[in-house]
Amino acid sequence: MNIRMASYVLAGVAVVAVVAIPAVVVEAVRLLLLVAFCLLVPGLGWARRVGGGDAVDTVALAVVISMSATILVSTAMVVLNVWSAPGGVAVLIAIALLGFSPLGRGASSPRAQS
**For residue 88, is it within any domain?**
yes
pLDDT at 107: 45
Range of the domain at 91: 3-102
Q: Rounded to an integer, what distance in angstroms lies between the CA atom of residue 107 and that of residue 63?
A: 29
Enter the pTM of the model: 0.68
Q: Which of 42, 44, 34, 38 is nearest to 95 (CA)?
A: 42
pLDDT at 76: 95
**For residue 112, is it within any domain?**
no
**For residue 109, is it within any domain?**
no
pLDDT at 82: 92
- What domain count does the chain have? 1
Instruction: End-to-end CA distance of the chain: give it in Å, rounded.
Output: 22
**For residue 113, is it within any domain?**
no
pLDDT at 106: 53
**For residue 20, is it within any domain?**
yes
Residues of the chain with pLDDT under 50: 107
**For residue 107, is it within any domain?**
no
> What are the pLDDT digits (tens) for 11-24?
777 777 776 776 66
